[in-house]
Structure 1
């Protein structure tokens, strides 16, 4: 297939959340590059850079930038660099979440105010900020993607405070899809099944969650970061131009089971 016939040829996108080769964001970045997209990849801090930079360089990322959404000004700096280098933007993949461990492992009822606010700040509000900064760069429309989990809709044991946080993220997706639709900007949530990522390892009894997913999902398997990447690539492509505001489950059918 020639470059001109690749589904994402000519598109440019920002991918946030690569931590290592097992990250959902890395799966998205790899598939999107394979389909012809030009990408910018961020890393959290200097410690993370030594893991992320080789992966980003291996993919041929045009921009490799530091980004901690809790640090004032860093997000603006990333979008300034995109504006200076590209002048426009076609898609954003937001694949970051955080909650302090004590609050993640405790009851929702006992969650501290600081823990709740930090989880919302990193996991949800940062997506709002990215949408606001991306909007003026999406001169020909575009797509904004974020990542959720089944625990946003149903109670999943040990998912705890991240359930309400992800529920807020999914609702945010719908409202922004409504607000940005007239500009041709589409907004989606992808809800993957459980994967063995670094972020997921913080959930208590995660192995049980994995086993349950394999047993109950109609496909009787775990999804891969490549599966998620393929879905993300479709959603940012022109083939999905009539879709917006959706929560797309990539979980082998687990979500349909009672």
Structure 2
């Protein structure tokens, strides 16, 4: 789908942080592009030096005033990013958390066999990092704001090969509800966006993912796969004042696939 015309500056004056862009196929890139098209300023992070060359041209395209490394597993990096946001802007209106990780041997095995270390790593990066970002964003959202994270339908039903990530996403969705309840009095909304299956760098680690893509396309009521711009447009809408009384939601952007048996 197309993003609204660049002259429709519905989010002009808003400032937000997008975490999780790896390349131009990332869900986070679709979100960042949608926010920028609607007039928002967007700060961007990249995982490490290896990822930087792939993300830097995208940051330039967004005219990002902040471009910093962020590996949530590295102590102090997340705090450094939010400190820079405060120095540069003094406030924050939205955060997009689009990261998840599970060690290959943990993701590839049965949930019942998951090693403790792999479980903790999966939960730390895929769930706790969002809670920590909410904690750091709260004092900067002086006039309210919106926090977003990305989930998947495998949190609610058993999806073959999704395994421990389904457990982590279920925890993440629960965190969204608790954060929404706790931060709502300050005008801060919290949502999980649940896209249908789409080809990203992260999904490439899931075994037999191509078969899942085909099954999704055939079974979804819309009979087509979503793309990153679909996800970005839906996310940007929820950051607008028109959605100010919508919070704590898991929004499916999947062509209706989740309603079909």
SS of the aligned residue for 1:47 comes to coil
Q: CA deviation at 1:6?
A: 1.1
List gaps (5 residues or longer) in structure 2: none
**2:230 & 2:118 partners in 1: Cα distance?**
32
2:120 aligned with 1:117: yes
**1:197 & 1:182 partners in 2: Cα distance?**
36
**2:209 & 2:227 partners in 1: Cα distance?**
16
Q: 1:60 to 1:107 in 2, by over 3 A?
A: same
Would you say the 8 A contact 2:6–2:39 is kept in 1?
A: no
Q: CA deviation at 1:2?
A: 8.1
Counterpart of 2:147? 144
Q: CA deviation at 1:49?
A: 0.5
TM-score (norm 1): 0.98
2:134 aligned with 1:131: yes
SS of the aligned residue for 1:15 comes to strand
Counterpart of 1:47? 50
Q: How many residues in Structure 1 have an aligned counterpart in Structure 2?
A: 257
2:204 aligned with 1:184: no
Counterpart of 1:106? 109
**1:195 & 1:109 partners in 2: Cα distance?**
27
**1:73 & 1:213 partners in 2: Cα distance?**
39
Counterpart of 2:201? 198
Would you say the 8 A contact 2:146–2:188 is kept in 1?
A: yes
Q: 1:2 to 1:200 in 2, by over 3 A?
A: closer
SS of the aligned residue for 1:114 comes to helix
Q: CA deviation at 1:61?
A: 1.0
Bigger mean CA offset, 59-68 vs 21-30:
59-68
**Deviation digits for residues 124-157 of structure 1 (CA, Å, limit 9, x no counterpart):** 0000000000000000000000000000000000
Would you say the 8 A contact 2:6–2:37 is kept in 1?
A: no
Q: CA deviation at 1:161?
A: 0.3
Q: CA deviation at 1:223?
A: 0.1
1:50-89 matches, within 5 Å, as 50-89=53-92
**Deviation digits for residues 36-88 of structure 1 (CA, Å, limit 9, x no counterpart):** 00010000011100110111111211111110001110001000000000000
**1:46 & 1:12 partners in 2: Cα distance?**
25
**1:239 & 1:105 partners in 2: Cα distance?**
42
**Deviation digits for residues 146-193 of structure 1 (CA, Å, limit 9, x no counterpart):** 000000000000100000000000000000000000000000000000
**1:175 & 1:51 partners in 2: Cα distance?**
35
TM-score (norm 2): 0.97
SS of the aligned residue for 2:50 comes to helix
Would you say the 8 A contact 2:6–2:38 is kept in 1?
A: no
